[in-house]
Structure 1
């Protein structure tokens, strides 16, 4: 039985609103970002999520996901590149297509692993 992955894009920061891509630099959520983060929590509260992973490093998914029981739902919160990595690894979308894709904030999506 597969593991379901629920991906939620990390929320909008004050830097994002100023047009700055802060990457791994520390930052603060904007007012809109705090609202969107709260909405994500509300949407997923009764969604059967077994765990929440917030690292955008590939080794986190490689170390955390295999230990979940089949049929588990796992919420990963990350940046757009994390979503693109899932699009490539799970959905098989070509990297060239993903590199040119819109980089803007989007509400999450769901994947099935296995």
Structure 2
């Protein structure tokens, strides 16, 4: 059974503005991020979305609540949609985390996880969506690791390729078709 997935990253956070790799820290939206989240809501509320699945980290929760709060669209939180856990590097400058990304494809960050572990965690969450939400359109709000998980599951991209290619933010997100009817 197939499912349409609209994916967008959480809106601009204070840590994004400061150039920090938040990882598993909660983070929170800045002024521009709250405006971005409101715009996401205006753009997506009438887009056929029947449910929103969201990372449980604060910056994603804020994005979902600003965008979809006060609507009849349920917001469902799932810790498996989190960013990669950079362990002791959570909250450090993004340039420091970016220097050795490829070293952590399979080797976990100190006190954290590897990119492969993060993608696998996201993949397990995605595998459950068609059981309840098949043949419908849902939204997922998450992080870079969430998008990598979608690319891995839907487009069969390798974790090595996903980490090597880096991340390019898209203003209106991505759309995926998961599974077959």
Alignment of 1:51-66 (within 5 A): 51-55=51-55, 56=81, 58=122, 59-66=124-131
**Structure 2: segments with no counterpart, 5+ residues:** 56-80, 82-120
Who is 2:32 aligned against?
32
Shift in Å, 1:26: 1.9
CA RMSD, aligned part only? 1.7
8 Å Cα contact 1:52-1:77 kept in structure 2: yes
Who is 2:175 aligned against?
110
State the TM-score, normalizing by the size of structure 1: 0.87
Structure of greater relative contact order (alpha carbons < 8 Å, 6+ residues apart): 1
CA distance in 2, matches of 1:31, 1:95: 33
Who is 1:44 aligned against?
44
CA distance in 1, matches of 2:155, 2:167: 18
Task: Tell me the alpha carbon deviations over residues 20-55 of structure 1, each in whole angstroms, 9 at most, x when there is no partner.
Answer: 011121222011111111111111111110100002
State the number of aligned residues: 113
Who is 1:13 aligned against?
13
8 Å Cα contact 1:12-1:105 kept in structure 2: no
8 Å Cα contact 1:4-1:113 kept in structure 2: yes
Q: 1:21 to 1:65 in 2, by over 3 A?
A: farther
Shift in Å, 1:106: 2.9
Who is 1:84 aligned against?
148
State the TM-score, normalizing by the size of structure 2: 0.57
**Structure 1: segments with no counterpart, 5+ residues:** none
Q: 1:80 to 1:60 in 2, by over 3 A?
A: same
Task: Tell me the alpha carbon deviations over residues 35-94 of structure 1, each in whole angstroms, 9 at most, x when there is no partner.
Answer: 1111111111111101000021534434444211x3200100000110011001101122
